[in-house]
Amino acid sequence: MKSVNVGMVGYKFMGKAHSNAYRALPMFFPQAAKPVMKAICGRDADALEGARAQFGWESAETDWRELVKRSDIDLIDINAPSDAHKEIALAAAAAGKHIFCEKPLALTLSDSVEMLKAAEAAGIKHMVGFNYRFAPAVQLAKKLIAEGRIGEIYHFRGWFLQDWILDPSFPLVWRLQKEIAGSGSHGDLGAHVIDLARYLVGEFREVIGMSETFVKERPMPSAMTGLSAKGDKDAPRGAVTVDDATLFLSRFENGALGSIEATRFAAGHRCTNAFEINGSKGSIKFDFERVNELQVYFTDDADDVQGFRRVLATDASHAYMDAWWPAGHTIGYEHTFTHEVYELMQAIAEDRPASPNFVDGVACQAVLEAVDRSIAERRWVSLSEFEE
Ligand code: SOE
């Protein structure tokens, strides 16, 4: 069986999610190429050593350039903040390493195109971290649509709602700084919804959006902190340079109409990544907070039992589920990453493109930028404006 030596840059939230996936994979998907957790990389040597020991990596590197140079590494996993993605990816491609990069792929469309071109020129496998595709219920939605069981699609309605920065004294973490994050809710949350829309419905033709930054200044953080940071309301303040919420309307190439909402100001919503799709023969509803379920409605059900029904996507017939537990024994967030890494390991072993890959990362980035342009210029923007 093939094994793949992994070097991972980043060791916070996503670093933990990816590490967990690499560890779980051989136990539940023994048929897959085995990821070997060779080296973890980050700048703070003490914190890094803690993560190395806790997550189970063989070694640690404090400079990603050294990691990329190592001859015992096959795959570079990039889950550092977004501003680091491009430079690391270009170096990894130049060194002939496969790349797994978190979303959004880059800060800008042109950077993401550069990354795609470098990956293609190097002939390496590349993948972008749109993990929600890998929920079995989402896979079921994809299958129902592909089999024509929902019919012609008329509507895609997607929303990703969080509330972790509702408190105005929540600090100005990197995710709220444009030069590091690229954008706010739009690129962090909207990117996932855009990817699901592309995956399930098809390509976007045109968009028009609106966005707002409700809290314009926040206390500076004392350290590089994440989603559970605590703010000091008396600390000096800095400007928030990203959107708190971005909403947009869209028309798809196939004529379907879309609406997408991404916000970190939806009180009570911790991680509501949801969509509804309406077609000529039925509808589908998904909400990540009930990740094992897909709501389906079919117009050809008998009149007296018409209505949405809840399908628990945990049977062996559902994607990936035969690898886990007996039917009805549910799975969660972390499993989406295990399935994602399974796809990547299979792609490397079978020498075929991984999916989703940098092409999808670029397509998502184009939609993000089209929305930004529509907001700046207060008009509908066609995706054709972004074709090379
Ligand atoms: C934080 O907003 C975050 O962790 C995103 O960065 C992830 O991509 C999303 O899956 C959940 O929320």
Let me know: does 100 contact 15? Beta carbons within 8 Å.
no
Report which ligand 1 atom has the smallest distance to the Cα of 129.
Answer: 8
CB 82 within 8 A of CB 180: yes
pLDDT at 90: 98
Please give the distance, rounded to the nearest whole angstrom, from the Cα atom of residue 189 to the centre of ligand 1: 6
| Per-residue pLDDT reduced to its tens digit, 186-230 | 999 999 999 999 999 999 999 999 999 999 999 998 766 677 777
Residue of the CA atom closest to atom 5 of ligand 1 = 188
DSSP-derived 3-state class of residue 156? strand
CB-CB contact of 154 with 217 (8 Å): no
* Residue among 318, 350, 373, 87 at smallest CA distance from 206: 373
Instruction: Please give the distance, rounded to the nearest whole angstrom, from the Cα atom of residue 121 to the centre of ligand 1.
Output: 30
Q: What is residue 159's DSSP assignment?
A: E
Alpha-carbon distances, residue 309 vs 76, 196, 226, 281, 374 (angstroms): 42, 22, 38, 15, 38
| Residue 4: strand, helix, or coil | strand
Kindly write down the DSSP assignment for every residue of 20-89, as one continuous string: HHHHHHHHH-TTSPEEEEEEEE-S-HHHHHHHHHHHT-SEEES-HHHHHH-TT--EEEE-S-GGGHHHHH
Is 360's pLDDT higher than 60? Answer: yes
Q: Is 271 in the pocket of ligand 1 (CB under 6 A)?
A: yes
Ligand 1 centroid to residue 187 C-alpha, Å: 10
Query: How high is the mean pLDDT of the chain?
Result: 97
Could you tell which of 271, 273, 291 is best to mutate to test the pocket of ligand 1, judged by most ligand atoms within 8 Å of the CB? 271
Please measure the distance between the N-terminal and C-terminal CA atoms of the chain and give it in whole angstroms: 41
pLDDT digits (tens, 9 = 90+) for 106-143: 999 999 999 999 999 999 999 999 999 999 999 999 99
For residue 102 and ligand 1, the question of a CB distance below 6 A is answered with: no
User: ipTM higher than 0.85?
Assistant: yes
Query: Which pLDDT does position 230 carry in this prediction?
Result: 76
Percent of the chain whose pLDDT exceeds 70: 99
Distance CA 29, CA 316 (A): 14
Q: What is the pLDDT of residue 254?
A: 98
Q: Give me ligand 1 centre to Cα 225, in Å.
A: 14
Please tell me if the CB atom of residue 164 comes closer than 6 angstroms to any atom of ligand 1: no
Place of tokens 């903040």: 81
Ligand 1, pocket-test mutation among 102, 183, 185, 188, most atoms within 8 A of CB? 188
Q: How far is the CA of 303 from the centre of ligand 1 (A)?
A: 41
- Residue 137 CB neighbour total at 10 angstroms: 25
* 188 CB near ligand 1 (under 6 Å): yes
Residue 225: per-residue pLDDT:
67
